[in-house]
Amino acid sequence: MTQQITLNDGNKIPAIGFGVFQIPADGSTYTAVKEALEVGYRHIDTAQAYFNEKEVGQAIKDSGIPREEIFVTSKLWIQDFAYETAKSTIDATLEKMGLDYLDLYLLHQPYGEVEQAWKALEEAKAAGKIKSIGVSNFTPNFWKQFIPNFATIPAVNQVEFNPYFQQKELRDLLAKDQVTIEAWAPLGQGNKELFEEPVITKLASKYGKDVGQIILRFANQEGIVVLPKSTKKSRMTSNKDIFDFELTADELAELRALDKGKGSHNPDAPGVGEYLLTAYDIHAND
């Protein structure tokens, strides 16, 4: 069984999941998720704004794997951040995916009617429609702004994380509430510079692993859930084969030193919320 991490609400989450951002809903998501399940993933990360929830649900159903053995995450898009809308979106998502419950549901971004949307998630959790609830792209600023107004502390904050952006301030802030960090872009979205980083290529040679495996194992040893995405079955397989070696304390220190303290996306930048609201129209095909 995949390594599991216990969340602050007592539920368990597989330490590695398969991400489906930017995989089109033209049958490609269905194929990718089916292959990911075949090679052993038991945790899938999708979102309303990826437009592929339906294919994820179909692939899970057709896999024949018992529902309780697969951890399924989706996310609510900001367009639907109002209390009543969020409630109906949760029901619509379950129906679209053909599921009775989601294992984890996140507020995808920290903009708009965040408190109202969170209230809807809390109620859906109480009603058994969602097992765990969390947030995404909450920087330290957004965390300090919103969390005091939430009745429930999020179980998860899904943020950009890889050796070049290690989120030190956020991790210190979240540690006291045992909030689990999930890494989006754990492979830096395939960033060439990262894949040629000498510290990492040296460790890959030492352990007989590839660069992706070193990057993912580093995050894993830091206690972070990783969600690598690939449409290639060989990479899906290698990306999850990270548990048969262990980086030493000195090697972890070398990898920690690669942090540049900045990612590809800054949720705090002015205008990001407004931009994102216009960037996707999740109801275009309703």
Q: Does 212 bind ligand NAP (CB under 6 A)?
A: yes
Where does this chain touch ligand NAP (CB under 6 A) — which range of 84-92, 171-179, 222-230, 241-249? 222-230
Specify the residue, 94 or 215, whose C-beta has the smaller distance to ligand NAP: 215
Q: Which among 56-64, 166-174, 233-241, 268-276 is the span making contact with ligand NAP, rule CB under 6 A?
A: 233-241
Stretch that binds ligand NAP, among 14-22, 112-120, 141-149, 170-178 (CB under 6 A): 14-22
Query: 72 in the Ramachandran plot: left (φ > 0), alpha (ψ -120 to 50) or beta?
Result: beta
Q: How far apart are CA 107 and CA 16, in angstroms?
A: 20
Q: Is 79 in the site for ligand NAP (CB under 6 A)?
A: no
Q: Does 29 bind ligand NAP (CB under 6 A)?
A: no
Tell me the three-class secondary structure of the chain, residue by residue.
CCCEEECCCCCEEECECEECCCCCCCCHHHHHHHHHHHCCCCEEECCHHHCCHHHHHHHHHHHCCCHHHCEEEEEECHHHCCHHHHHHHHHHHHHHHCCCCEEEEEECCCCCCHHHHHHHHHHHHHCCCEEEEEEECCCHHHHHHHHHHCCCCCCEEEEECECCECCHHHHHHHHCCCCEEEEECCCHHHCHHHHCCHHHHHHHHHHCCCHHHHHHHHHHHCCCEECCCCCCHHHHHHHHCCCCCCCCHHHHHHHHCCCCCCCCCCCCCCCHHHHHHHHCCCCCCC
Please identify which residue in 38, 69, 175, 190 interacts with ligand NAP, judged by CB under 6 A: 190
Closest approach, Cβ 219 to ligand NAP, in A, equals 10
Which of 15, 20, 90, 130 is the binder for ligand NAP (CB under 6 A)? 20
Residue 157 lies near ligand NAP (rule: CB under 6 A):
no
> Do residues 90 and 120 lie in contact, with contact meaning Cβ atoms separated by under 8 Å?
yes
50 carries an active-site annotation: yes
Does position 51 bind ligand NAP by CB under 6 A? Answer: no
**Per rule CB under 6 A, is residue 158 in the interface with ligand NAP?**
yes
Using CB under 6 A, pick the residue from 189, 201, 221, 237 that binds ligand NAP. 189
Q: Which of 114, 185, 203, 224 binds ligand NAP (CB under 6 A)?
A: 185
Whose Cβ is closer to ligand NAP: residue 111's or residue 184's? Answer: 184
Residue 136 makes contact with ligand NAP by CB under 6 A: yes
Q: Which residues ranging from 89 to 118 are in contact with ligand NAP (CB under 6 A)?
A: 108
137 contributes a contact to ligand NAP by CB under 6 A:
yes
The footprint of ligand NAP (CB under 6 A) covers 19-21, 45, 108, 136-137, 158, 184-190, 212, 227-232, 235, 238-239
The residues carrying an active-site annotation are: 50
